[in-house]
Amino acid sequence: MALLELRNVVKDYVSDGQRVRAVDGISLAVAAGEFVAVIGRSGCGKSTLLNLAGAMDFPSSGDVFIDGQKTSGASDQQLTQLRRSKVGFVFQSFQLLHTLSAVENVELPLLLAGRPKAREHALSRLHSVHLEVLEHRFPHQLSGGQMQRVAIARALINSPKVLLADEPTGNLDTSTGSAILEILLRLTREQNTATIIVTHSAEAAEIADLVITLRDGKIAGIKRK
């Protein structure tokens, strides 16, 4: 069964009285352990699609199912709960808290959820991205690639079913980006997440199980490995 499923999903935005159809009837199923790359020109709807897939927003029509749970019709509280328990997000700009050390950034979601052994779990996640020795460094004392590894460890701290990354290598040089892609692919297999990454990287498209090209909010091409 797919961990993530979109059925004929549409998303309209209205700005200045104009309707923009950012996502225009997308259907997609991502299985556990599957790594999907989404590519396409600026403005074609990639980030919008990711936000819908991660329950950050509701579709205007159609349905999104995360581990079998439908996002539309859920209350804000249910949606927040769904997001916290099932979705991990990684961003181009890392989005770490700068006053917290690496390990504190990673353990924060567990502390907020009142879960036990937060430190122990956070250290093991840092270990899985090979950063345990830098646990007490603050973000400004880390390289871009190291910051992104901290962000990946944080995204995976709640053992999410769905892992979403919006241009995770966009701020990194090619070889650092390459290492980050390898980590994302390995963790997708190890943790059995349904993973979607938005990317401009040719390498990402090469290693992905499935490459989806978007154009004007629609799927213009699908390439399976």
Residues that bind ligand ATP (CB under 6 A): 13, 15, 20, 22, 40, 42-48
| Shortest distance, position 163 Cβ to ligand ATP, whole Å | 18
- Nearest Cα to 84, choosing from 4, 158, 3, 148? 158
CB-nearest residue to Mg ion: 47
Rounded to whole angstroms, the Cα distance separating 217 from 9 reads 10
Residue number, 72 or 85, with CB nearest to ligand ATP: 72
| Shortest distance, position 146 Cβ to ligand ATP, whole Å | 24
188 binds, among Mg ion, ligand ATP, none (CB under 5 to 8 A by kind): none
| Shortest distance, position 46 Cβ to ligand ATP, whole Å | 3
The token duo for 145 is 């690639």
* Residue 163: φ, ψ to 5°: -120, 125
Per-residue contact string for residues 47-66; x = within reach of Mg ion by CB under 5 A? x-------------------
Residue number, 42 or 77, with CB nearest to ligand ATP: 42
| Shortest distance, position 35 Cβ to Mg ion, whole Å | 19
68 binds, among Mg ion, ligand ATP, none (CB under 5 to 8 A by kind): none
| Shortest distance, position 166 Cβ to ligand ATP, whole Å | 7
43 binds, among ligand ATP, Mg ion, none (CB under 5 to 8 A by kind): ligand ATP
Per-residue contact string for residues 10-49; x = within reach of Mg ion by CB under 5 A? ------------------------------------xx--
Residue number, 20 or 74, with CB nearest to Mg ion: 20
Q: HEC states along the chain?
A: CEEEEEEEEEEEEEECCEEEEEEEEEEEEEECCCEEEEECCCCCCHHHHHHHHCCCCCCCEEEEEECCEECCCCCHHHHHHHHHHHEEEEECCCCCCCCCCHHHHHHHHHHHCCCCCHHHHHHHHHHHCCCHHHCCCCHHHCCHHHHHHHHHHHHCCCCCCEEEEECCCCCCCHHHHHHHHHHHHHHHHHHCCEEEEECCCHHHHHHCCEEEEEECCEEEEEEEC
Residue number, 48 or 188, with CB nearest to ligand ATP: 48
77 binds, among Mg ion, ligand ATP, none (CB under 5 to 8 A by kind): none
CA 195, 160, 170, 214 torsion: positive or negative? positive
Rule CB under 5 A: which residues touch Mg ion? 46-47
